[in-house]
Amino acid sequence: MAKRKTKFVCQDCGYESAKWMGKCPGCNRWNTLVEEVEATGNRSSHGLARDIRQASKPEKITAIESQKEPRITTTMKEFNRVLGGGIVPGSLVLIGGDPGIGKSTLLLQISSQLAEKQLQVLYISGEESGRQTKLRADRLGITADSLYVLSETNLYDIANHIEKINPSFVVIDSIQTIFREEVTSAPGSVSQVRECTSELMKIAKTNGVPIFIVGHVTKEGAIAGPRMLEHMVDAVLYFEGERHHTYRILRGVKNRFGSTNEMGIFEMKEAGLREVLNPSEIFLEERSHGAAGSTVVASMEGTRPVLVEIQALISPSSFGNPRRMATGVDANRVPLLMAVLEKRVGLMLQNQDAYIKVAGGVKLDEPAIDLAIAVAIASSFRDQPTKPDDIFIGEVGLTGEVRRVSRIEQRVQEAAKLGFKRVICPENNLDGWTVPKSIQVVGVKTVQEALEEGMGR
């Protein structure tokens, strides 16, 4: 008989210890080590429908034939965009998001669209019965015959059904409910999640079937389980959005087959998720013209330019240490830009509270938004609005200079398409491309020049 040994595993980072500790040395979290019993010795390959441990030998890279496999595309262009052009056969994709955000709804709609193309699709739910999944399918209007629903949590039975049906697309909802019989720990533990994901990866690579797995998230918003789970899969997608708002954002944070900066916008309707093909109009539809502290910036999300509104509120502080709060941008960037405005422009912001927000719930992390934030702060401090048809693009240096940004041509074209009349951008970005006739581009070298152009002297 195989020997059994006891170990303590951190449920956040996967750190293993021979004894229990109150604080995990790996992630410095308290009370996260849980006792698990692991079977050691001769472990059989029980649990797999096919012995996938086939002998392999090294090959010269010049002798390997390169083939471009066709991707599986859905009718949702936003979903295809985030994945880099479609679903790659044999890939393993992890989707995470807050509870109730719409992960299961999105994957059920994708499964229906692929089934309508006469592809065999297997939707495996470990949290809902077949009738409960049917209720959601009726609400979404799904009637495809090639869509199979399975309510199962045993990995051995799941592997057998995949071998029997031979689907073209598989969904596991969710990975925290699947278990292997050889692993004695409870479903959802680090050992179970790691072992089940490893076997699903082998099944995907051997059979050439793409598998999408749903992962729960922690209170901090990270995918539950060890971080090695994100390293094992081919792509990691996050489904974001406020539960009280109808818009959802599908963002790729890892993708071996495409860009990691792509973003897809969806709107939650009664009949399911509907893709938003022009998100700039959505983010700017409620913008109030003539209000101080409001600017518009053209930010690049992957290969797509998106126009969003940045709002700033500057008010006198009642405390010794003024507050600096930011939503949608890096909180450390706000005091940095305020220090530049104090030193290079002469704005006395030492005793002012600053509140910065990106309208629409979008998160921006590129340096090209610096100039828009700085102008919004100066506009609110002076109580002087900017022109509603202006867009500000540029990175701000510590010496007050406005630095060059990438893909300025796509940003300006998106601004012209939405009816904006003028773009204030770095002067070094003016050469090497053609400006659209319907818009004026003004180059500036410093933040002082940008404020003079945007608000006047």
DSSP string, 28-90: --BS-EEEEEEE-S----TT-SS----------TTTSPP--PPPBP-S-HHHHHHTTSSBPTT
Q: Does residue 58 surpass a pLDDT of 70?
A: yes
Tell me whether residue 126 is annotated as binding. Answer: no
Dihedral (C-alpha) 132, 134, 140, 145: value to the nearest 10 degrees? 160
1-41 per-position pLDDT tens digit: 455 678 888 877 778 888 899 998 888 888 888 888 765 54
Question: Domains of the chain: which residue ranges?
Answer: 4-39, 77-277, 282-455
The reply to whether CATH 3.40.50.300 applies to domain 77-277 is yes
Q: Does residue 414 surpass a pLDDT of 50?
A: yes
Residue 258 or residue 91, greater confidence: 91
Tell me whether residue 100 is annotated as binding. Answer: yes
Q: Which residues of 385-399 are buried (b: 16+ CB within 10 A; e: fewer)?
A: bbbeebbbbbbbeee
Kindly report the number of other CB atoms within 10 A of residue 226's CB atom.
23
Same fold, 77-277 and 282-455: no
Read off the tokens for 56: 């392999």
44-57 per-position pLDDT tens digit: 444 454 444 455 68
Q: Determine the pLDDT at residue 134.
A: 93
Q: Does residue 60 surpass a pLDDT of 60?
A: yes
**Alpha helices (runs of H) in 357-438, residue ranges in sequence order:** 370-382, 408-417
Estimate to the nearest angstrom the gap between the alpha carbon of 53 and the chain centroid: 34
Tell me whether residue 187 is annotated as binding. Answer: no
Tell me whether residue 103 is annotated as binding. Answer: yes
Q: How confident is the model at residue 166 (pLDDT cuts 50, 70, 90)?
A: very high
Residue 189 or residue 251, greater confidence: 251
Average pLDDT over residues 404-426: 93
Q: Does residue 241 surpass a pLDDT of 90?
A: no
3-state DSSP assignment of residue 452: helix
Tell me whether residue 102 is annotated as binding. Answer: yes
| Predicted TM-score of the model (pTM) | 0.77
Tell me whether residue 5 is annotated as binding. Answer: no
State the architecture of 282-455 in CATH terms.
Answer: 2-Layer Sandwich (3.30)
Q: Are the C-beta atoms of 10 and 24 separated by less than 8 Å? A: yes
Q: Determine the pLDDT at residue 2.
A: 53
Tell me whether residue 439 is annotated as binding. Answer: no
Best CA proximity match to 296, nearest among 340, 360, 383: 360
Q: In angstroms, how far is the first alpha carbon of the chain from the final one?
A: 85
190-207 per-position pLDDT tens digit: 888 888 999 999 999 999
3-state DSSP assignment of residue 376: helix
Dihedral (C-alpha) 277, 280, 285, 286: value to the nearest 10 degrees? 130
- What residue type is 403 in one-letter code? R
Best CA proximity match to 111, nearest among 272, 231, 248: 272
Tell me whether residue 146 is annotated as binding. Answer: no
